[in-house]
């Protein structure tokens, strides 16, 4: 028996889904490069992970953070920045929590109690603090100092990392607030600490601190506008691609092979299986979109109660999900500037082999094809919705399916 209560699929946002697919390069970047390197004192930039809505940014970093916390690292929760709020206030409040995890709260050292006091003031008044009083250190320098202090404490424990995750960074629309936040985090990342090495030599090392920023692709432009070069030196930015079909198939393989265990009334577990045809149908319908993958899986699970999820269950379930799938793609398209959207629609109308810049530009009513060049570049490099090969093609397979076929219906 399967019931909705047991479904392992989670199309809601911000969860770490139980049925996880791919993103192995990112997980390995944390496990094999970022964490071990910073733990041994080698500098590594912060990570900025951007992508269209529903591409799985928050889930990815939450998964990394969960893994880190399980290993004993000191981790902030996902610090979401709601539109129009003061990010320094939010960060200050979370840093105070982190400081107490690190045991700094009980420190008697004057320097530390003063520092905690300064950060408490930032948590209360935010960025307006330095503007109002006009004296004393700026709000952001207090935050940097506290991150460094927590980093020092982590370094003393040897195998502990500090991980900060700021989400929805595109919501920080105030230039001043954004640059102060980036400087506060960046300064802590680049800070070098003098430590005594074997042989009584003094060396400089980085602290075991990692910062992840996640949000929509627009953030790259915003961050680049005023602090472009500095930002790029301090944060490595990547844009999430859709998931591979192979990764999605692999994620569902446990259902096909040994069955997904659900609790039964007898205190044990019973496996829920999936037909290979159902597995393929879910993968095809989701077009590489993590959100749609969870949605298709959930609906197929809900479509019946037997211990076998059939291809029919997938079809029946998707029938109810199609409107939501359409809304998902529509939302991504609606957010695009008119020109980018027009570009995609024009490109989609052309037969695949005729999708060249010249033909698309012509279709958009431009006299010179170079006029459409910047739009094409944005859709490729900043959003990764298309690729500019010969001919051009779609990377975002759900947008492609929506614009070129009757998917999701
Ligand atoms: N690697 C993955 N494998 C399977 N499902 C995933 C994966 N990553 C994310 N998901 C699912 O995709 C959905 C969207 O994920 P998430 O909320 O992380 O996206 P997001 O990029 O942060 O979206 P938004 O821009 O709306 O904040 C969630 O339902 C999540 O469970
Ligand atoms: Mg998110």
**160 and 283 share a domain?**
no
> What is each CA distance from 121 to 80, 86, 100, 190, in whole angstroms?
20, 13, 16, 25
| pLDDT higher than threshold 90 for residue 338 | yes
In a domain, 49, yes or no: yes
Retrieve residue 265's tokens: 């009334």
Q: Is 337 exposed, middle or buried (0-12, 13-18, 19+ CB in 10 A)?
A: exposed
Distance 325 CA to ligand 1 centre (A): 14
Domain that holds residue 369: 334-404
In a domain, 12, yes or no: no
Point out the least confidently predicted range of 85-89, 220-224, 396-400.
220-224
| Residue-level pLDDT at 264 | 86
| pLDDT higher than threshold 90 for residue 344 | yes
| Residue-level pLDDT at 128 | 64
In a domain, 153, yes or no: yes
**267 and 396 share a domain?**
no
**Ligand 1 atom at minimum distance from 9 CA:** 31
Distance 249 CA to ligand 2 centre (A): 24
* Ligand that lies nearest to the alpha carbon of residue 27, given by its number in the listed order: 1
- Closest residue (by CA) to atom 29 of ligand 1? 11
- DSSP-derived secondary structure for 344-400: HHHHHHS-GGG--HHHHHHHTT-SSGGGGHHHHHIIIIIT-SEE-SSS-EES-HHHH
For residue 305, what are the β-bridge partners?
none
| pLDDT higher than threshold 60 for residue 132 | no
Point out the least confidently predicted range of 230-244, 274-288, 289-303.
230-244
In degrees and rounded to multiples of 5, residue 239 shows phi and psi of: -115, 130
In a domain, 355, yes or no: yes
**350 and 322 share a domain?**
no
**Ligand 1 atom at minimum distance from 13 CA:** 17
Query: Which residue would you say has higher pLDDT here, 155 or 14?
Result: 155
Distance 169 CA to ligand 1 centre (A): 16
**341 and 287 share a domain?**
no
What is the sign of the dihedral through the CA atoms of 307, 312, 315 and 320? Answer: negative
Per-residue pLDDT of 210-242, as tens digits, reads 999 999 998 888 877 666 667 778 999 999 999
- Which of 326, 357, 389 represents a domain boundary (last residue)? 326
First to last CA, the chain: 29
**348 and 285 share a domain?**
no
Distance 256 CA to ligand 2 centre (A): 30
In a domain, 225, yes or no: yes
Q: How far apart are CA 290 and CA 243, in angstroms?
A: 7
| CATH number (domain holding residue 232) | 3.40.50.300
For ligand 1, whether the C-beta of 14 sits within 6 Å is: yes
**230 and 365 share a domain?**
no
Query: Which residue would you say has higher pLDDT here, 109 or 150?
Result: 150
Distance 155 CA to ligand 1 centre (A): 33
| Residue-level pLDDT at 212 | 97
Point out the least confidently predicted range of 51-60, 230-239, 251-260, 394-403.
230-239
Per-residue pLDDT of 3-18, as tens digits, reads 888 899 988 767 799 9
Band of the pLDDT at 147, cuts 50, 70, 90? very high
**159 and 206 share a domain?**
yes
**254 and 144 share a domain?**
no
- DSSP-derived secondary structure for 130-153: HHHH--SS-HHHHHHHHHHHHHHH
| Residue-level pLDDT at 225 | 60
For ligand 1, whether the C-beta of 11 sits within 6 Å is: yes
In a domain, 127, yes or no: yes
Q: What is the mean pLDDT of residues 325-330?
A: 95
For ligand 1, whether the C-beta of 18 sits within 6 Å is: no
For ligand 1, whether the C-beta of 249 sits within 6 Å is: no
- Which of 278, 300, 326 represents a domain boundary (last residue)? 326
Has this prediction a pTM greater than 0.85?
yes
In a domain, 380, yes or no: yes
Counting the structural domains of the chain, the total is 3
**91 and 148 share a domain?**
yes
Quote the mean pLDDT of the chain. 91
Give the position of tokens 């990377």: 395
**119 and 249 share a domain?**
no
Q: How far apart are CA 30 and CA 27, in angstroms?
A: 5
| Residue-level pLDDT at 226 | 61
| Residue-level pLDDT at 289 | 95
Distance 78 CA to ligand 2 centre (A): 10
Q: What is the mean pLDDT of residues 156-179?
A: 91
| Residue-level pLDDT at 111 | 87
**Ligand 1 atom at minimum distance from 15 CA:** 31
For ligand 1, whether the C-beta of 8 sits within 6 Å is: no
**Pocket residue to mutate for ligand 1, from 17, 49, 53, most atoms within 8 A of Cβ:** 17
CA torsion, ordered 117, 91, 73, 199, to nearest 10 deg: -60
Per-residue pLDDT of 245-273, as tens digits, reads 999 999 999 999 999 999 888 888 899 99
* Ligand that lies nearest to the alpha carbon of residue 60, given by its number in the listed order: 1
| pLDDT higher than threshold 70 for residue 115 | yes
**121 and 222 share a domain?**
yes
In a domain, 5, yes or no: no
Distance 28 CA to ligand 1 centre (A): 18
**395 and 271 share a domain?**
no
Band of the pLDDT at 129, cuts 50, 70, 90? low
Q: What is the mean pLDDT of residues 300-317?
A: 95
What is the sign of the dihedral through the CA atoms of 237, 242, 245 and 250? Answer: positive
| CATH number (domain holding residue 276) | 1.10.8
| pLDDT higher than threshold 70 for residue 402 | yes
For ligand 1, whether the C-beta of 27 sits within 6 Å is: no
For ligand 1, whether the C-beta of 59 sits within 6 Å is: yes
| Residue 392 and residue 398 in contact, taking contact as beta carbons nearer than 8 Å | no
> What is each CA distance from 252 to 47, 256, 289, 303, in whole angstroms?
29, 7, 15, 17
Q: Is 36 exposed, middle or buried (0-12, 13-18, 19+ CB in 10 A)?
A: middle
Q: What is the mean pLDDT of residues 111-125?
A: 86
Q: How far apart are CA 207 and CA 187, in angstroms?
A: 11
**Ligand 1 atom at minimum distance from 51 CA:** 21
- Which of 191, 216, 239 represents a domain boundary (last residue)? 239
| pLDDT higher than threshold 60 for residue 301 | yes
| Residue-level pLDDT at 228 | 60
Query: Which residue would you say has higher pLDDT here, 138 or 236?
Result: 236
Band of the pLDDT at 122, cuts 50, 70, 90? confident
- Closest residue (by CA) to atom 9 of ligand 1? 56
Q: What is the mean pLDDT of residues 366-384?
A: 92
For ligand 1, whether the C-beta of 178 sits within 6 Å is: no
């Amino acid at each position: 028996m399967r019931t909705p209560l047991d479904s392992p699929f989670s199309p809601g946002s911000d969860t770490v889904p139980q049925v996880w697919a791919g993103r192995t390069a990112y997980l390995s970047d944390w496990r094999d490069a970022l964490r071990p390197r910073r733990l041994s004192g080698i500098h590594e930039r912060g990570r900025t992970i951007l992508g269209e809505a529903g591409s799985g940014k928050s889930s990815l970093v939450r998964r990394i953070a969960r893994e880190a916390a399980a290993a004993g690292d000191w981790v902030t929760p996902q610090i979401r920045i709601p539109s129009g709020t003061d990010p320094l206030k939010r960060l200050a409040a979370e840093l105070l929590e982190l400081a107490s995890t690190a045991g700094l709260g009980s420190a008697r050292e004057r320097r530390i109690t003063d520092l905690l006091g300064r950060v408490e003031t930032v948590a209360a008044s935010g960025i307006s603090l330095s503007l109002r009083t006009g004296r004393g250190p700026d709000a952001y320098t207090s935050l940097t100092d506290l991150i460094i202090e927590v980093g020092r404490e982590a370094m003393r424990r040897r195998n502990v990392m500090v991980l900060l995750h700021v989400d929805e960074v595109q919501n920080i629309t105030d230039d001043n607030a954004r640059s102060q936040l980036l400087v506060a985090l960046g300064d802590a990342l680049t800070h070098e600490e003098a430590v005594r090495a074997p042989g009584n030599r003094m060396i400089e090392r980085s602290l075991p601190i990692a910062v992840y920023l996640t949000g929509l692709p627009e953030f790259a432009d915003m961050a680049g506008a005023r602090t472009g070069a500095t930002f790029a030196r301090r944060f490595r930015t990547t844009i999430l691609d859709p998931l591979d079909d192979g990764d999605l198939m692999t994620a569902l393989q446990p259902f096909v092979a040994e069955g997904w265990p659900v609790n039964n009334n007898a205190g044990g577990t019973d496996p829920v299986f999936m037909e290979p045809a159902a597995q393929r149908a879910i993968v095809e319908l989701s077009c590489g979109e993590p959100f749609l993958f969870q949605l298709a899986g959930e609906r197929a699970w809900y479509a019946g109660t037997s211990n076998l999820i059939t291809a029919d269950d997938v079809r029946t379930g998707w029938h109810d999900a199609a409107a939501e799938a359409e809304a998902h793609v529509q939302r991504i398209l609606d957010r695009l500037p008119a020109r980018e959207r027009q570009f995609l629609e024009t490109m989609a109308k052309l037969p695949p082999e005729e999708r060249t810049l010249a033909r698309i530009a012509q279709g958009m009513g431009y006299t010179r094809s170079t006029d459409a060049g910047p739009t094409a570049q944005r859709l490729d490099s900043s959003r990764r919705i298309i690729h500019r090969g010969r001919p051009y093609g779609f990377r975002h397979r759900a947008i492609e399916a929506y614009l070129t076929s009757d998917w999701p219906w």
